[in-house]
């Protein structure tokens, strides 16, 4: 097995040994998708996407909360992977593992956790919600999770575990639920700068209009590459 593969497996084992992280795989989709869906009234609402759409309130809630659940899971995972691995990774580098291999292993594991978290959230949502373009909806939701996962890595290098968790809980909640929510009639200027802006636009149009825009998705990928570069830089600094 390659050193990168071994490091990914070791990280996954460490992740598995942290009960709170495993519990979040169940609790977050339940909380964000199932509970909110149950509490949402039967009502029709108008969405202001690339075209104006009238749909049910519960479909909107589920479609917004699904990417949010993935973002919460990935952000907290990024934070924990960074904080729990800092000491051990430094020793592995001293033992001869290249820093690039360690960073690749950490970010690879994070990508896997993000995909798994998004998959669980999407699976929970599909019981009550049927997106027009499921593939693009999942892609948008996954992109939100990956971006927040990378931000979790960066946050993990500057904040304590508890403070970082608060930032990574309230950040996606405010960004996804308040600023990117398609129920809003206008988009504030700050919303376009926030991490979930482009991926949510893709996911919401995929969910309700069938008009997901590959150009917007590409902008989201660009945002991801930028925050991945930031995460790589801060991880590299911890391995020096």
Partner 1 sequence: MSRLTAATRAHARSFVRDPVNLAFLFVFPPVVVQVYGQAMERFPELSLGSDPGTVGSIAGTLFATAFVAGLIGLFQLLSARRGDERLLIAGFGRSSLLASRLVTLVAATLVVAAVSLTVLSLGTDVAAPGLAYAALVAGGLTYGLIGVLVGTLLPRDLEGSLVLVFLADMDSALSSGVMAVDTAVADVLPLHHPHAAFSEAVTEGSIAAGDARAVVAYLLVLLAAAFFAHRWVAGDGGERA
Binding site for partner 1 (CB under 8 A): 20, 24, 27, 31, 35-36, 38-43, 45-46, 160-163, 165-166, 169, 173-174, 178-179, 181, 183-188
In the complex with partner 1, the residue whose CB is nearer, 84 or 232, is: 84
CA–CA separation, 180 and 36 (whole Å)? 17
Coil, helix or strand for 180? Answer: coil
In the complex with partner 1, the residue whose CB is nearer, 178 or 225, is: 178
Give 76's contacts (C-beta < 8 A, 6+ positions apart).
21, 24, 152, 165, 168, 169
Residue reference for tokens 């594991």:
109
Q: How far is the CB of 184 from partner 1 (least distance, A)?
A: 3
In the complex with partner 1, the residue whose CB is nearer, 86 or 159, is: 159
Q: How far is the CB of 91 from partner 1 (least distance, A)?
A: 25
- The DSSP element (H or E) to which 195 belongs, if any, is none
Q: How far is CA 6 from CA 17, 106, 139, in A?
A: 17, 11, 28
Percent of residues in the chain assigned helix, strand, coil, to nearest 5: 80, 5, 20
Query: Among 75, 40, 73, 57, which residue's Cα sits nearest to residue 182?
Result: 57
Q: How far is the CB of 28 from partner 1 (least distance, A)?
A: 9
In the complex with partner 1, the residue whose CB is nearer, 43 or 95, is: 43
In the complex with partner 1, the residue whose CB is nearer, 9 or 20, is: 20
Q: How far is the CB of 190 from partner 1 (least distance, A)?
A: 9
Q: How far is the CB of 109 from partner 1 (least distance, A)?
A: 20
């Amino acid at each position: 097995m390659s050193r990168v593969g071994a490091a990914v497996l070791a990280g996954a084992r460490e992740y598995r040994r942290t009960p709170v992280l495993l519990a979040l795989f169940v609790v977050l989709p339940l909380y964000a998708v199932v509970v909110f869906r149950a509490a949402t009234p039967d009502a029709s609402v108008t969405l202001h996407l690339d075209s104006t759409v009238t749909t049910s309130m519960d479909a909107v809630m589920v479609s917004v909360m699904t990417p949010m659940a993935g973002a919460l899971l990935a952000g907290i995972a990024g934070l924990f992977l960074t904080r729990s691995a800092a000491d051990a990774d430094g020793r592995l580098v001293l033992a001869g593992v290249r820093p690039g291999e360690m960073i690749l292993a950490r970010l690879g594991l994070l990508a896997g956790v993000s995909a798994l978290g998004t998959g669980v959230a999407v699976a929970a949502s599909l019981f009550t919600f049927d997106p027009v373009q499921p593939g693009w909806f999942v892609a948008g939701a996954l992109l939100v999770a990956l971006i927040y996962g990378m931000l979790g890595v960066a946050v993990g290098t500057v904040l304590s575990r508890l403070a970082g968790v608060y930032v990574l809980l309230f950040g996606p909640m405010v960004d996804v639920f308040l600023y990117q929510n398609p129920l809003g009639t206008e988009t504030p200027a700050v919303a376009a700068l926030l991490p979930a802006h482009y991926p949510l636009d893709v996911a919401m149009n995929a969910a309700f209009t069938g008009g997901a825009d590959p150009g917007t998705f590409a902008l989201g990928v660009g945002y991801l590459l930028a925050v991945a570069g930031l995460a790589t830089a801060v991880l590299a600094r911890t391995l020096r």
